[in-house]
Amino acid sequence: MVGIKDVASLAGVSVATVSRVLNQHPAVRAETRARVLTAVDRLAYRPNAVARSLRTHQTRTLGLVISDVLNPFFTELARSVEDEARALGYSVIIGNADEQPELQDHHVRTLLDRRIDGLLVSPTDGGSPLMLGAARTGTPMVFVDRWIPGVDVPVVRADGRDAIRDLVAHLHALGHRRLAIINGPAATTTGSERVEAFRDALHAYGLSLPAEYVGQGDFQADSGRKATGRFLDLPRPPDVVFAADNLMALGAMDEMYARGLRVPEDVALAAFDDIPWFVHTDPPITAIAQPTGELGRTAVRALIDVVEGRTAASVTLSARLVARRSCGERREQTS
């Protein structure tokens, strides 16, 4: 591998000078700069980022730890994060926790070992000592989508309260009265929040949310399927199942079809997180759409703010209802 020394000797200058032209330092004579530059591309020299990072204490890299890459919501989030980071001159390393706290820790640890400049996390759980420690000891950090209460870290997320109220209104208008929800893990904020918002919205319509209508899932399709099975085994099964994420909604749909039920005639279905595929399912699924791309981009900007010494505030965007056919024929279309 050709190093800065090779460039220096080809150009007949010192390594210090080469480094200067590489870093656009102004104090270099134009003629010298030109000589260095020709040497650089004659040798196809590329600076070693590892060495540079060691010296400068910065890697211009962000870490992103998400709970499940296979979930289209997170895939899209990851993509927007990378786009924005790249636009701002950073790279990103993605760690997929697969909803497992140990894996999440593994990635946080690896990322920290690599001395990434900042960490973007959508926590799978309530926070391991490792992650809490990193936050406390000043690793630039921002939570996105999910967060950990009580930790002093900016949060970029979407609030689904209003959209959930709209959803309940929509369901109520369609005549549904027995509404059930499949919850995410209690350790995630997105899990608990969504149930609460749902319960509140139901109350506003004089409906209640009995315990047997709250299913416990883990954000994976299979758990959605099982929870739905339990609902349908109930003496009085719900007439709508609302899944707290898209994968569980798919599982729910599987179970409904496996039992020969029709959607929405026999049971209705709605999901949190809208994804392109929901348009193509049979029937198209009513969902609450988060501004995913905006979430990712905002989170990156916030993180870079703290990385570069500015301060960042939490940001809450809002989600919106996208009514389709899985809850019955719609009366009005929400745009």
User: Could you say whether residue 79 binds DNA (CB under 7 A)?
Assistant: no
Residues 208-247 that bind a copy of itself (CB under 8 A): 221
Q: Say whether residue 96 binds a copy of itself (CB under 8 A).
A: yes
Min separation Cβ 116 and DNA, Å? 15
Query: Which residue in 13, 21, 59, 296 binds a copy of itself (CB under 8 A)?
Result: 59
CB nearer to a copy of itself: pick between 111 and 201: 111
Q: Can you tell me which of 236, 280, 310, 331 binds a copy of itself, judged by CB under 8 A?
A: 280
Of 2-10, 154-162, 277-285, 292-300, the segment contacting DNA by CB under 7 A is 2-10
Q: Does 14 bind DNA (CB under 7 A)?
A: yes
Does 89 engage in binding with DNA (CB under 7 A)? no
Interface residues for a copy of itself in 156-215 (CB under 8 A)? none
What 3-state class would DSSP assign to 63? strand
Euclidean distance between CA atoms 54 and 71, whole angstroms: 35
Instruction: Pick what 310 binds: a copy of itself, DNA, none; C-beta below 5 to 8 Å, kind-dependent.
Output: none
Q: How many residues bind a copy of itself (CB under 8 A)?
A: 41
Interacting partner of 280 out of DNA, a copy of itself, none (Cβ under 5 to 8 A depending on kind): a copy of itself
Q: How far apart are CA 139 and CA 150, in angstroms?
A: 17
Helix (H) or strand (E) holding 197: helix 189-204
For 230, the enclosing helix (H) or strand (E) is: helix 221-233
Q: Which among DNA, a copy of itself, none contacts residue 78 (Cβ within 5 to 8 A by kind)?
A: a copy of itself
Count CB-CB contacts under 10 A for residue 50: 10
φ, ψ of residue 51 in degrees (nearest 5): -60, -45
Q: Using the minimum distance from each CB to DNA, give the nearer residue, 5 or 259.
A: 5
Shortest CB 295 distance to a copy of itself, Å = 16
Instruction: Identify the three-state secondary structure at position 211.
Output: helix
Closer residue to a copy of itself, CB minimum distance, 128 or 192: 128
Residues 6+ apart with CB under 8 A from 57: 115
CB burial of 219-248 (b: ≥16 within 10 Å; e: otherwise) equals: bbbebbbbbbbebbeeeebbbbbbbbbbbb
**What are the distances in angstroms from CA 217 to CA 48, 184, 212, 248, 249?**
46, 5, 13, 7, 11
Count of alpha carbons within 13 angstroms of residue 41, beta-carbon side: 5
Closest approach, Cβ 77 to a copy of itself, in A, equals: 11
Range list of β-strands (E), 128-249: 141-144, 155-159, 179-183, 214-216, 240-243
Burial 263-282, CB ≥16 within 10 A → b, else e: bbeebbbbbbbbbeebeebe
- Of 234, 230, 272, 232, which Cα lies nearest the Cα of 250? 272
Residue 54 or 234: the one with the smaller Cβ distance to a copy of itself is: 54
Considering the rule CB under 8 A, would residue 48 count as an interface residue with a copy of itself?
yes
Interaction partner, residue 230 (a copy of itself, DNA, none; CB < 5-8 Å by kind): none
Q: How far apart are CA 109 and CA 93, in angstroms?
A: 13
CB of 91 to DNA, least distance (A): 16
Interacting residues toward DNA by CB under 7 A: 1, 3-5, 12-17, 19-20, 22-23, 26-29, 31-33, 47-48, 51-52, 54-57
Interacting residues toward a copy of itself by CB under 8 A: 44, 46-51, 53-54, 59, 69-70, 72, 75-76, 78-79, 82, 86, 91, 93-94, 96, 106, 109-110, 112-115, 133, 221, 250, 253-254, 276-277, 280-283
